[in-house]
């Protein structure tokens, strides 16, 4: 989504997904802070390798937000933690 950044980010991720016609039932939004941008990149690649079926991945500098199925949220958290990620509460879009 980085290349398609919204001008008005006063939306939630679930609102954005609904507008794009994506299903949001069973989706949770998780945010993580990493010490470096390379930590965010590693997190993204590890998520893709884990094939957890995330619906959306967004990042700004050292922060990443993932929209993922609720049943895969704990595995997502494990991956982030293994890379030094600290979870934060996500309100509006980054």
- What pLDDT is attached to residue 9? 61
What CA–CA distance (Å, rounded) separates 42 from 89? 21
The arithmetic mean of pLDDT across residues 11-39, rounded, is 94
Q: 24-40: b or e for each residue (b if 16 or more CB lie within 10 Å)?
A: beebbbbbbbbeeeebb
Q: Percentage of the chain surpassing pLDDT 70?
A: 89
- What pLDDT is attached to residue 1? 45
- What pLDDT is attached to residue 10? 78
* Predicted structure pTM score: 0.85
**Is the pLDDT assigned to residue 2 strictly greater than 60?**
no
Q: Is 1 exposed, middle or buried (0-12, 13-18, 19+ CB in 10 A)?
A: middle
| Position 33 confidence tier, pLDDT thresholds 50, 70, 90 | very high
| Position 65 confidence tier, pLDDT thresholds 50, 70, 90 | very high
């Amino acid at each position: 989504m980085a290349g398609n950044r919204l001008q008005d980010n006063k939306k939630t991720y679930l609102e954005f997904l609904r507008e794009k016609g994506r299903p949001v039932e069973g989706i949770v939004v998780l945010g993580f802070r990493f010490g470096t941008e390379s930590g965010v990149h590693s997190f993204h690649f590890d998520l893709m390798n884990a094939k957890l079926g995330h619906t959306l991945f967004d990042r700004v500098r050292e922060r990443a937000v993932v929209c993922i199925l609720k049943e895969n949220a704990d595995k997502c958290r494990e991956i982030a933690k293994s890379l030094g990620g600290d979870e934060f509460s996500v309100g509006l879009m980054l």
